[in-house]
Structure 1
Amino acid sequence: MTPELPDGISAANQGGSPEHRARHLRDRAVAEAKHFLALFLYLWVLFGLFVLNERIILHQHKIDFLSHGFAVFNAFILAKVMLIIEDMNLGRWLDNRPLIYPILYNSLIFSILFILFHVVEEKVVSIAWGEPASASIPNIGGGGIAGIVCVSVILFFSLIPFFAFRNLARALGLERLNSMLFSEQVGALTE
């Protein structure tokens, strides 16, 4: 019996040598690390903009506020959550549909998940500090249903470019998409 590699490919089909398996695992780990870093950086910028907006609003009301720790911490945690959810491939039923469907679906799902995660995070923090359950209700977007809807809509539209890039990279190939975006010979690539 041959050992199974993490992606289900048997070692016999991969040459079977320990060096090859180690190289395969290392390559996979590097690819996952790059993917995680891209998710983290995108979310850090996104949440950093939320924090910056909140800081500007509070400054207008003469309230001091300086906390980018929220953006870094949440970007780190939610990037890991995104990796796990992406591995579950919830949108696989959209694989043969036009790209706009998986882009919008993923943006919607992750917007909802981020709001839910924030609510759970607030609950855990309040329990850790020994506060009553009513104190753990997050004040998202200024509070109330309207605030939650506003933040959800902003998240939805903010995630569209990320998932558009991901789905285009999957459809065209990452190398071709990078060439189209960053090469000076765009005309030759599109023909």
Structure 2
Amino acid sequence: MGESVPLPQRRHLKQRVSDELKRFLVIFLYLWVVFGLLSIHKSIILAEQHLDYPEHAFAIINAFIFAKVLLLGEHFSLGTRFKDWPLIYPILHKCFIFTVVLICFHIVESILVGVWHGRTIAESFPPILGGSLKGLLSVGVMCFVVLLPFFGFREIGRVFGRKELWALIFVHRGNEPKLS
């Protein structure tokens, strides 16, 4: 017969799963808002050119996939090189590392989907990158800037504590004395 897992260990596992699910949900929601805004912007520009492009469904799908990529990257400790330095260094370093990871993942994902649908690798290269170094750099800069507040809050939460940061941002503090 199989051994049963002791009750304290099961609670610990349930708590870890719950914590990971919450982390995933926060990442997903952040990315969904960002990708949704980018999709709205893209659809407005394309509508001005009388082109129809169903981009909004991809915002949800990409947010889900990229949230998982970010969680896996954090699980494998990507971008932790400067974790004991002043916060600006780990924030900028993580933004850079995860920008590269997300762009590489997006390229591989686009190529695999294209090849699956019978296109060549060249035909499957993501059009958002513009097929040029300039397109790649512009997407890289946008991705980097989008990740700044995300990793800024994550790093501040790491230093001060996630619960403390959450309470500082979302809990009403009442009538606190002013410092000035």
Same fold judged by TM-score > 0.5?
Answer: yes
What is the rounded CA distance, in whole Å, between the counterparts of 2:32 and 2:61 in structure 1? 9
Q: Which moved more, 1:125-134 or 1:179-188?
A: 179-188
What is the rounded CA distance, in whole Å, between the counterparts of 2:172 and 2:105 in structure 1? 42
Matches within 5 A, 1:156-171: 156-171=144-159
The offset of 1:141, in angstroms, is 4.5
1:50 aligns with 2:74: no
What is the rounded CA distance, in whole Å, between the counterparts of 2:130 and 2:121 in structure 1? 19
Deviations 1:116-157 (A, max 9, x none): 111111110111111122211211254421111111101101
Letter in 2 for 1:79: A
The offset of 1:185, in angstroms, is 2.8
Residue 137 to residue 23, structure 1, CA distance change in 2 (3 Å)? same
1:107 aligns with 2:95: yes
2:67 corresponding residue in structure 1: 79
3-state SS in 2 of match to 1:130: coil
3-state SS in 2 of match to 1:92: coil
Residue 53 to residue 62, structure 1, CA distance change in 2 (3 Å)? same
Letter in 2 for 1:182: F
Letter in 2 for 1:155: C
1:40 aligns with 2:39: no
1:92 corresponding residue in structure 2: 80
Among candidates 141, 166, 170, match of residue 178 of structure 1: 166
Letter in 1 for 2:92: L
1:116 aligns with 2:113: no
1:9 corresponding residue in structure 2: none
Among candidates 98, 120, 127, match of residue 132 of structure 1: 120
What is the rounded CA distance, in whole Å, between the counterparts of 2:87 and 2:43 in structure 1? 36
Structure 1: 5+ residue runs without aligned partners? 1-16
What is the rounded CA distance, in whole Å, between the counterparts of 1:178 and 1:150 in structure 2? 33
Letter in 2 for 1:42: Y
1:14 corresponding residue in structure 2: none
What is the rounded CA distance, in whole Å, between the counterparts of 1:46 and 1:178 in structure 2? 21
How many residue pairs end up in the alignment? Answer: 173
What is the rounded CA distance, in whole Å, between the counterparts of 2:109 and 2:38 in structure 1? 17
Deviations 1:48-70 (A, max 9, x none): 12211110110111112233121
Q: CA RMSD in A?
A: 1.8
Structure 1 consecutive aligned stretches of length 4 or more whose deviation exceeds 4 Å: none
2:141 corresponding residue in structure 1: 153
Q: What is the percent sequence identity of the aligned residues?
A: 41
Structure 2: 5+ residue runs without aligned partners? none
Residue 137 to residue 171, structure 1, CA distance change in 2 (3 Å)? same
Letter in 2 for 1:68: H
